[in-house]
């Protein structure tokens, strides 16, 4: 069964859906059936906020003897089924928050890092690394280095917006996070230039002492730029995760909940209730 066959079944079952939705559902089903390969690492978010990690051990199968909505099967050898969110560094955790039902994790050396977590380790983070701020071990270190900076002889402390958020235990620049970081920087007498509320999470910012480098207009130019930033935080919303519990060696319904009231077909569909799973190619060192 190819992509066109799956699309035909989805269209026949959901004749009133728009083209975007039909393409999306078709793609998720196609990936679940054909693209996920035996040996791949798979990560499944659970309803209790934890994650399950394992390896795919079987091809796609349809089981008519299981309950409705749990009939599309990929068997999995689960290595861990109760991995706390705190195990993952924010960059990987953010990738796991995709709104897609089935997707491949490719960025940030995800396969190697997930393989280590599957073996019982914590996420070691990106190997980077030349990412600005990667060597900063905590907020206190960041603030001390920024305040001790000698503007005459040293470059200011720089880091990415992503690293700044990580140091504050955050993933996104929501209103509460922005307010908390601003309060802490204000108390330390520091400013972000450019403002950390601007740009992407890969943007590089510098932390300087407020009022440093005064010019003839009074406050330093950098201070004025930072203070003139738009005060509203960017709208970065956190997607709500919905997933089934894992209580067997089966990844049941991970391509979407498909309820069938008709006779058995290879890909029966009536009601779509999505859950999510992330797949990534297992590293070469993983058997």
Task: Confirm whether 287 is domain-assigned.
Answer: no
Place of tokens 């996104």: 172
* Cut 0.85: pTM above it: no
For 109-143, b where at least 16 C-beta lie within 10 A, e where not — what string? bbbbbbbebbeeeebebbeeeebbbbebeebeebb
Q: Which domain does 148 fall in, by range?
A: 139-227
> pLDDT at position 212, please?
55
Rounded Cα gap, residues 129 and 127, in angstroms = 5
> pLDDT at position 101, please?
78
Q: How many domains is the chain partitioned into structurally?
A: 2
Total count of residues recorded for the chain:
287
> pLDDT at position 284, please?
47
Question: Are residues 117 and 149 both part of a single domain?
Answer: no
Question: Are residues 158 and 116 both part of a single domain?
Answer: no
Task: Confirm whether 234 is domain-assigned.
Answer: no
Pairing of strands 277-280, 102-104: parallel
Q: C-alpha dihedral over 205, 224, 197, 207, to 10 degrees?
A: 30
- Sign of the dihedral through C-alpha 27, 28, 31, 34: negative
- Report DSSP state, residue 237: P
Rounded Cα gap, residues 212 and 17, in angstroms = 58
Task: Confirm whether 28 is domain-assigned.
Answer: yes
Task: Confirm whether 286 is domain-assigned.
Answer: no
What is the three-class DSSP state of 251? Answer: strand
Question: Are residues 91 and 169 both part of a single domain?
Answer: no
DSSP of 212-227 = -S-BTTBS-HHHHHHH
Question: Are residues 60 and 181 both part of a single domain?
Answer: no
Question: Are residues 104 and 244 both part of a single domain?
Answer: yes
Q: Across the 287 residues of the chain, what is the mean pLDDT of every consecutive 10-residue run?
A: 92 93 90 92 92 95 87 93 89 78 82 91 72 77 82 74 89 93 92 91 86 50 44 40 37 32 34 46 47
> Which H or E element spans position 30?
helix 19-30
CA neighbours closer than 13 Å in the CB half-sphere of residue 1: 19
Question: Are residues 103 and 143 both part of a single domain?
Answer: no
- How far the first Cα of the chain sits from its last, in Å, is 29
Question: Are residues 7 and 121 both part of a single domain?
Answer: yes
- Sign of the dihedral through C-alpha 131, 136, 138, 143: negative
Rounded Cα gap, residues 257 and 20, in angstroms = 19
Question: Are residues 33 and 156 both part of a single domain?
Answer: no
Question: Are residues 183 and 51 both part of a single domain?
Answer: no
Question: Are residues 210 and 260 both part of a single domain?
Answer: no
């Amino acid at each position: 069964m190819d992509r066109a066959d799956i699309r035909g079944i989805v269209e026949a079952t959901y004749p009133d859906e728009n083209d975007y939705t039909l393409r999306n559902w078709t793609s998720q089903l196609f990936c679940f059936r054909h693209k996920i390969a035996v040996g791949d690492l798979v990560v499944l978010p659970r309803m209790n906020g934890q994650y399950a990690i394992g390896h795919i051990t079987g091809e796609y199968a349809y089981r008519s003897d299981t309950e409705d909505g749990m009939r599309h099967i990929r068997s999995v050898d689960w290595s861990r089924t109760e991995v706390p969110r705190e195990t993952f560094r924010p960059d990987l955790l953010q990738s796991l928050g995709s709104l897609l039902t089935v997707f491949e994790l490719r960025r940030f050396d995800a396969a190697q890092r997930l393989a280590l977590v599957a073996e019982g380790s914590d996420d070691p983070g990106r190997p980077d690394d030349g990412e600005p701020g990667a060597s900063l071990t905590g907020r206190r270190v960041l603030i001390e280095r920024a305040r001790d900076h000698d503007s005459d002889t040293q470059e200011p402390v720089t880091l990415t917006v992503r690293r700044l958020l990580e140091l504050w235990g955050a993933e996104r620049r929501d209103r509460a996070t922005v307010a908390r970081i601003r309060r802490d920087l204000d108390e330390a007498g520091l400013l972000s230039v450019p403002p950390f509320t601007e740009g992407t999470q890969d943007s590089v910012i510098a932390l300087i002492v407020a009022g440093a480098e005064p010019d003839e207009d009074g406050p330093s130019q950098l201070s004025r730029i930072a203070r003139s930033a738009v005060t509203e935080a960017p709208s970065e919303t956190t997607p709500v995760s919905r997933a089934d519990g894992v209580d067997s060696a089966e990844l049941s319904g991970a391509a979407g909940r498909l309820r069938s009231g008709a006779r058995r077909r290879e890909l029966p569909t009536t009601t779509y209730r999505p859950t999510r799973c992330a797949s990534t190619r297992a590293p070469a060192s993983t058997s």
